[in-house]
Amino acid sequence: MPPANYSPIQVFLGFCLINALLAFYLMRKNSGRVHDLELKIRHLQEATNILNDKNSRDRENKNALQVKIRKYNSLKEIIEEINQNLNLDSISETLASIAFSFISDNKGTCSLYLIDEQAQKLNLLKSKKEDKKLVIKAKEGDIFDFWVLKHVSPLFIENINKDFRFDLDKLRQQDIRPISSLISAPFMSEQRFLGILRLDSQQPHFYAQDDLRFLVTICDLGAVAIENSEYFEKAQDLAIHDGLTSLYKKGYFLERLKEECRRNARRNSPVSLLLLDIDYFKNYNDKFGHTAGDIVLKDLSHNLVDFLKDKNAIISRFGGEEFCVVLPEIEKKKACIIAEELRARIERTKVVLRRQETHITVSIGVSAFPVDAKGEIELIVKADKAMYEAKQNGRNRVVAA
């Protein structure tokens, strides 16, 4: 078949049509690829966002873990710090400072209460405050501290406005400083409640469960330190106080007398000394039994403490039935008047032994520093001689050196 004859225009149009069809085909094909690429990009972006979120959470968890590790690594330092001494005031100061700085970052308020076992009430011993002008009025605790005291368990409040355990209306009626979040834990030792360590903030959700766990750990360590300090104070107390009368023992009394003589020598002021001995003490034991002697000694010691409570006196059980009294900055003449008033009071006091009322009397010797002696030993010797003279002259009397 002979070739068709096309005009140049027809050839050109045919060429354009072919190119257009080819371009359309390529565009369709490429658009599918672009769409696929866009989908892949979106998937990659989503995967990247997920990885970024995961990395962000991992970083937060890592930072939180590092903070937690630092806190718990510091426990060794905390143990060493609270065990550096056995003074209760120093231990309480250390515990409050540690909790306030390690957990609260010195924000909000920290309160440390110890229990008064006799009165069965809380007493505020230490506090740390972000706002130095803030006054903690609840010196014996508030509704939150009473909750810990009653339940003997830690307390965690994220937002007080959403905590069903506490009546918000009652809270508003009470004069309680603004509090939104709180953690508190008891000091416990062998089922014995010792006190409370508490952190609170005006910001809600300021504390986390990990903060409470760390506070509980501090309180567990602190309870041991507090109890050890109590044992130490009791041991010290037993070392210087007579077990029967609770008055100072002779050894400690002599040290105090020595200090008073030196101190008043520098001030050029007097120190008077009374030496008392119970008259016919052996007769009470013989007539009423040996426990009667203990009753007599206890009654007399209570009488001495009550009568001399406003005299700044230092009182000691000096021997079996002998007692010594130091009267700082009191001259000899006035000391003799005090001694006579004391003797008369003791004579008037009724003592019940085996359901029988009786009375005791004492002989008292008085000496003074520096008029009678230049040192504490000579002062005692002079008072002892005066007391012996009172015995010789009929007992139940006061004699001055």
* pLDDT of 17 above 50: yes
pTM metric for this prediction: 0.63
Supply the range of the domain harboring residue 110. Answer: 76-237
Same domain? For 275 and 340 the reply is yes
Q: What is the pLDDT of residues 354-387, one digit of tens each?
A: 888 888 999 999 999 999 988 899 999 999 999 9
* 283: CB partners within 8 A, 6+ apart: none
Q: Is residue 244 a part of any domain in this protein?
A: no
Phi/psi at 158 (nearest 5 deg)? -80, -45
Q: 225 and 285: one domain?
A: no
For residue 331, being part of any structural domain is answered with yes
| Residues near 147 by beta carbon (within 8 Å), at least 6 away in sequence | 155, 165, 166
**Residue 186 or residue 10, greater confidence:** 186
Q: Which of 93-102, 132-141, 167-176, 309-318 has the lowest mean pLDDT?
A: 167-176
**Residues with Cβ < 8 Å from 361, sequence gap 6 or more?**
278, 279, 343, 346, 347, 395, 396
Mapped onto helix, strand or coil, the DSSP state of residue 178 is: coil
Does the residue 19 lie in any domain?
no
Same domain, 218 and 259: no
User: What is the domain count for the chain?
Assistant: 2
User: 173 and 318 share a domain?
Assistant: no
**CA gap 340, 368 in Å, rounded:** 16
The answer on 255 and 198 residing in a single domain is: no
228 and 116 together in one domain: yes
Using an 8 Å Cβ cutoff, are 200 and 224 in contact?
no
Domain boundary among 237, 270, 298: 237
Lowest-confidence range among 38-52, 98-112, 235-249? 38-52
CA–CA gap between residue 78 and residue 355 (Å, rounded): 57
- Does residue 356 come out as left (phi exceeding 0), alpha (psi in the -120 to 50 range) or beta? beta
Residue ending a domain, among 237, 266, 301, is 237
Better pLDDT: 42 or 305: 305
The candidate with the shortest Cα–Cα distance to 322, out of 391, 372, 219, is 391
274: Cβ contacts below 8 Å, ≥ 6 apart: 324, 325, 327, 335, 338, 339, 342, 364, 365, 366, 383
pLDDT digits 0-9 by tens, 228-275: 888 888 888 888 999 899 999 999 999 999 999 999 888 889 999 999
On the question of pLDDT at 1 being above 50, the answer is no
Domain boundary among 206, 237, 268: 237
